Amino acid sequence: MEKEIQTESQRFDRGARLTVVATVLLLLWPIALSLLFAGYPTDGWASTTAVGFFDGPFTLRYSLTGDPSPLMPGDIVTAIDGRPLVVGQLPPLPEPLEAGRTITYTIDRAGQTLKADVELVRIGPGPYAAIWLSNPVLTLATLLTLLIAAAVFFLRPDQPAARYLLIAYTFQAGVAFTEIMANPYVFAMPPWAVFLTAFYQTGWSWIYTSSLILLVLVFPLRLLPLRRFPRALPALLYAVPFLTMLFATPRYPAVTQGALQLWLGGLTFGTFFVLFPVVIFGTLIHNLRNVREPVARAQVRWMALGFGIGLGINAINNLFGFATFDFARWERLEALTAVAGLALPLALAVGILRYRLFDIDVIIRKTTSYAILTALLALVYFGSVVVLQRVLSPVTGESTAAVVLSTLLIAALFLPLRRRVQGIIDRRFFRKKYDAEKVLQQFAATARDETDLDALTAELVRVIQETMEPESVSLWLRPAEKLSPDARHGSSLPVQP
């Protein structure tokens, strides 16, 4: 027992302890800054800008206090006490900045210019609840992601993949605490706090993407770059973007980047923006093509499933969000992205912990078949509604009949279409499983009709050969009183691999 305890304690080595220190720092950093900001007067709203670090006109998102206010979500504040908000300049905060003071906002509401008197308040730590409840789906998904990553790490602290997973998702959870500082009044804080707030938000380059890149390079097999440079490569991937973004982050009272800062920050972001998908999906494709060991191959499939769902939906949502930018729609897309993002830590948890590892084929088959089935049924439904409306509307004068008939058509098509889609997927992508099922079905039919024992045993050996592909097969029949002397024998037949 003592030896087992010692072994478990040794698993929590220096690398695991450094991971704990890094995650604690990544959480305390935004929490401390947000608690500092909570002591300063603000307008009591969470807001954002499309350009820069809360410089220029800002859009109100939701109230942090829930108190009655002349402001509304979606209002664009263009001036404070008659002084305009200009991109690239500090917001003209009133002086002295104190709670209870009333200031006048000039706002743009649905194309109309209005004036609104706003009383400054100290929000305290209470608005954390308002922030997290403003998008509860996003909050819950972020919390679950962190809990999954933490559970995987404490169950497998010796696994580098578990460490990188925890570091990445601790930073993602820490970003939620910076939401309370989504306000132009953040510039009332000391200059060092303003800088640290801006710099933490650049961590998507030097913490999140770097950790996930290292994760795919180390799991399930350590690939050549990490095998050759086990310490230099992680140091490079963390240190280089850290230092470049440290230089590129504006220093108060500047709110915009200089030419060199802008170039260096853009280069870092662009490099990791390209490197991230190329390395991740390139590594996954390489592993899927070259890994042959069954457990490692199943782990690669789980990882591919997680990245495919998590990052795939994230990319689609981001493209859609940028194409049709609207803050309300953007927050809904954020929630959807966070829910889809759960697929990655869940898949990696299964792969790292090896729990029901080989269910991956079933999940991929079912996910693929039902995704295709849903798309086909949706096309049939909307197509039939359009066609039937044109046919039946002149007769019935309404579209109810078209909707009802289309629904009945979908119900009738569901089962045969599902079987057809599943058959096509099995033949195209799961040929071995499809062939095995066919062979077993044929053997079952033969076993019902065959009476010759030698023919039946020969058929059984053939079935095992085709489905399992062993190097050799040995078959023994248990002697029984009712069996004839000829049947009391065993056969051993070699099978070519």
94 part of a folded domain:
yes
Of the candidates 322, 348, 33, which has an alpha carbon nearest to the alpha carbon of residue 191? 33
Q: What is the span of the domain harbouring residue 68?
A: 48-122
In this structure, are 405 and 467 located in the same domain? no
77 and 183 belong to one structural domain: no
How far apart CA 448 and CA 437 sit, in angstroms, is 17
376 lies in a domain?
A: no
Secondary structure string (H, E, C) spanning the chain: CHHHHHHHHHHCCHHHHHHHHHHHHHHHHHHHHHHHHCCCEECCEEEECCCCCCCCCEEEEEECCCCCCCCCCCCEEEEECCEECCCCCCCCCCCCCCCCCEEEEEEEECCEEEEEEEECEECCCCHHHHHHHHCHHHHHHHHHHHHHHHHHHHHCCCCHHHHHHHHHHHHHHHHHHHHHHCCHHHHHCCHHHHHHHHHHCCHHHHHHHHHHHHHHHHCCCCCHHHHHCCCHHHHHHHHHHHHHHHHHCCCCCCCCCCHHHHHHHHHHHHHHHHHHHHHHHHHHHHHHHHCCCHHHHHHHHHHHHHHHHHHHHHHHHHHHHHHCCCHHHHHHHHHHHHHHHCHHHHHHHHHHHCCCHHHHHHHHHHHHHHHHHHHHHHHHHHHHHHHHHHHHHHHHCCCHHHHHHHHHHHHHHHHHHHHHHHHHHHHHHCHHHHHHHHHHHHHHHHHHHCCCHHHHHHHHHHHHHHHHCCCEEEEECCCCCCCCHHHCCEEEEECCC
Q: 429, 448, 466: which is the final residue of a domain?
A: 429
Domain boundary among 122, 144, 169: 122
Instruction: Report the alpha-carbon distance of residue 411 to residue 389 in Å, rounded.
Output: 19
Same domain assignment for residues 17 and 158: yes
Total number of domains constituting the chain: 4
Whole-number pLDDT of residue 181: 78
CATH of the domain at 111: 2.30.42.10
In the chain, the amino acid numbered 97 is L
Amino acid at 106: T
Residue 27 lies in a domain: no
In a domain, 372, yes or no: no
With respect to residue 40, please indicate whether it lies within any of the assigned structural domains. Answer: no
364 part of a folded domain: no
Judge whether 318 lies within some domain: yes
Residues 259, 334: contact at Cβ < 8 Å?
no
175: Cβ–Cβ under 8 A, 6 or more apart, which residues?
A: 30, 200, 201, 203
CATH number, domain with residue 308: 1.20.1070
Q: At what angle do helices 294-323 and 343-353 cross, to 10 degrees?
A: 170
**Residues 150, 266 within the same domain:** yes
The Cα 21–Cα 5 span in angstroms is: 23
- Distance from C-alpha of 64 to C-alpha of 45, rounded to nearest angstrom: 5
Judge if the upstream peptide bond of residue 220 is cis by omega within 30 degrees of 0: yes
56 alpha carbon, distance to own chain's centre? 32
> pLDDT at position 171, please?
94
Shared domain check, 291 and 151: yes
For residues 164 and 90, membership in a common domain is answered with no
**Phi, psi dihedral angles at 103 (to 5 degrees):** -125, 165
Q: CA 230, 236, 237, 243 torsion: positive or negative?
A: positive
First to last CA, the chain: 45
pLDDT, one tens digit for every residue, the chain (497 residues): 334 433 444 477 888 999 999 999 999 999 899 888 888 888 888 887 755 555 668 888 888 877 888 898 888 898 999 899 887 788 888 888 888 889 999 999 888 899 999 999 888 777 666 677 767 777 888 888 999 999 899 888 888 999 999 999 999 989 888 877 778 888 888 999 989 988 998 898 899 999 999 999 998 888 888 888 888 999 999 999 999 999 998 887 777 777 888 888 889 988 888 888 899 989 988 888 888 777 788 888 888 888 888 777 777 666 655 555 555 566 666 777 777 778 888 888 888 887 555 555 555 666 666 667 777 777 777 777 777 777 766 666 666 677 777 777 777 777 787 777 777 766 655 555 555 566 666 667 666 666 666 677 777 776 666 555 565 667 776 665 554 454 444 444 444 43
Q: Are 301 and 357 in contact (CB under 8 A)?
A: no
Rounded CA separation 141/169 (Å): 11
Tokens linked to 414: 């569901």
469 belongs to a structural domain: yes
- 310 and 400 co-located in one domain: no
171 & 302 share domain: yes
59, β-bridge pairs? 48, 76
Domain boundary among 81, 98, 122: 122
Q: Domain check: are 180 and 325 in the same one?
A: yes
Compute CA distances 7 → 2, 16, 150, 157, 163, whole Å.
9, 14, 21, 12, 19
Q: Are 371 and 377 in contact (CB under 8 A)?
A: no
Prediction pTM value: 0.69
Q: Are 450 and 422 in a shared domain?
A: no
- Amino acid in the structure at residue 261: Q
